[in-house]
Amino acid sequence: MKALKVLSVASEIYPFVKTGGLADVVGALPAALASEGVAVTTLVPGYPAVMAAVESSTEVYHYADLFGVEARLVRATVQGLDLLVLDAPRFFDRAGNPYLGADGQDWHDNPQRFAALSRVAADLGLGRAPLYVPDVVHTHDWQTGLTAAYLHYSGEPHAPTVMTVHNLAFQGQFSPSLLSAIGLPPYAFGMDGVEYYGTIGYLKAGLQLSDRITTVSPTYAAEIRTPEGGMGFDGLLRSRAAVVSGILNGIDTTTWDPATDPLIAAPFDLKRIEARAANKAALQERLGLAIDPDAQLFGVVSRLTWQKGLDLLVDRLGILLGTGAQLAILGSGDATIAEGLAYATVLNPGRVAMVNGYNEGLAHQIQAGSDVILVPSRFEPCGLTQLCALRYGAIPLVARVGGLADTIIDANEVARAAGIGTGIQFGSVTPAGLEAAILRAAELWRDKPYWQAMQKNAMKTDVSWSRPAATYAALYRSMVAIPQ
């Protein structure tokens, strides 16, 4: 079968630039899809970290004036990834976060920066760079949403588009006065175009004008079509329900392999599950927690935002500690949430530890050494942390929302009797809901044979990219038949 050429377009990609799970998925898709006969090329902005990684490249296109700046589009293979890099120094050669300046505010020219990324993706989709012409254009999140608009308003034949929503909370809304500056015609500013509650909506444009829409779990695909979960887009998504689907994320099972992980203290697998104990002791030691094999150790690896529900944990910390448990947190983000958690460590030395920051090694150690991984999210499109937890035999305790609902089998009475169950879910994402789940976790912890059965069930769960990749490949193949 002829390899299908898919242009994936995103504002971040692991291992070069990551602020969240989007980067992990964008970085993992190419390898996962290669075995499905799909050749993915990823278009990303030329941030300093990306430019530094590019050793040699070929120029594919040159822009004398891309929304006011000069730019080159170059192609390079870096660490096995086939990249198209938008080298536009005046937009992307800036230290720090892809979206925010050192003052924590959005870069003032974000509308132009991400319009430029989308404009280039559209030019490729229109076949304007003969060195690379994709069969399908796959965009991710609001930063690439205008791609579908540029293609649509070109009025020319072009590659079909699919947009994946990793998080509906980030919508990219900008002033309508920018319409001509970002190269859109006046008639694009309507309900069936890019207009969104009086603004130009980048995510709106993608959701309205892409041929297909996916999100990262079936449950989230259903939730976003409801007023509670739609964040303003439920009506649009209901009207486009026929082209909306949910495809679960996977994780890189080579990087996340407890049998070979060089970042953890002691390797283990299904047959040597008892070796987890050495990882637990090493983690307790590293974080200054009491070295106690019997204390149930809860771990958190998370962005600290309202979405992730960690304020609920602060609220019910007393309950958790009351069961004799310990808590290890790694997170970065919202200063108020971080302060609440840091204060808890001061009050509970040896029982609560918090590391504020981004740390990959520690993330692996928390997965390998914790007994439970907490993910009390208010909403969760898919979630990767609980997938890593399954693979590492750390029992996920999760809110029953989005991809968390789809990936964890709750160890309720029926599941327990049947010997199935991979984790603990709670339905009401409130302090009381979390409290009940923590108390259930404590009770299950006392039933050691069942706890170990759960760990084994968890570790046997397929969290790889193989099934999702096959589903994406089938979707792309169904799209190349779309007449434009």
Ligand X SMILES: Nc1ncnc2c1ncn2[C@@H]1O[C@H](COP(=O)(O)OP(=O)(O)O[C@H]2O[C@H](CO)[C@@H](O)[C@H](O)[C@H]2O)[C@@H](O)[C@H]1O
Q: Was 18 annotated as part of a binding site?
A: yes
- List the interface residues with ligand X, window 195-234 (CB under 6 A): 216
15 interacts with ligand X by CB under 6 A: no
330 interacts with ligand X by CB under 6 A: yes
Stretch of 129-137, 268-276, 356-364, 451-459 contacting ligand X, by CB under 6 A: 356-364
Stretch (H or E) spanning 417: helix 413-418
Q: What angle do CA 469, 133, 75 make, to 5 degrees?
A: 85
The correct pick among 12, 21, 313, 398 for binding ligand X (CB under 6 A) is 21
The correct pick among 42, 385, 422, 425 for binding ligand X (CB under 6 A) is 385
DSSP annotation of 4: E
The correct pick among 99, 170, 189, 358 for binding ligand X (CB under 6 A) is 358
Alpha-carbon span 1 to 37, nearest angstrom: 7
20 interacts with ligand X by CB under 6 A: yes
- Partnered with residue 162 across adjacent β-strands are 138, 212
Alpha-carbon span 196 to 387, nearest angstrom: 35
Is residue 283 exposed (0-12), middle (13-18) or buried (19+ Cβ within 10 Å)? buried
Alpha-carbon span 441 to 298, nearest angstrom: 10
Residue 233 CA: distances (Å) to CA of 8, 125, 201, 206, 245: 23, 26, 11, 12, 15
Residues in the chain: 484
Alpha-carbon span 81 to 29, nearest angstrom: 10
17 interacts with ligand X by CB under 6 A: no
Alpha-carbon span 411 to 420, nearest angstrom: 7
382 interacts with ligand X by CB under 6 A: yes
> What tokens appear for 20 in the block?
């969240």
The correct pick among 255, 359, 430, 461 for binding ligand X (CB under 6 A) is 359
**Distance of closest approach, residue 34 Cβ to ligand X, in angstroms:** 20
In terms of CB distance, is 292 or 311 closer to ligand X?
Answer: 311
- Partnered with residue 354 across adjacent β-strands are 329
Q: How many residues bind ligand X (CB under 6 A)?
A: 27
> What tokens appear for 360 in the block?
């990959």
The correct pick among 166, 204, 276, 280 for binding ligand X (CB under 6 A) is 166
**Distance of closest approach, residue 67 Cβ to ligand X, in angstroms:** 27
Stretch of 19-27, 61-69, 201-209, 451-459 contacting ligand X, by CB under 6 A: 19-27
369 interacts with ligand X by CB under 6 A: no
**Distance of closest approach, residue 125 Cβ to ligand X, in angstroms:** 23
**Distance of closest approach, residue 281 Cβ to ligand X, in angstroms:** 21
> Would you list which residues are annotated within the binding site for ADP-alpha-D-glucose?
18
Would you tell me which residues interact with ligand X (CB under 6 A)? 20-22, 24-25, 166-167, 216, 249, 301-303, 330-332, 358-360, 363, 380-385, 388, 403
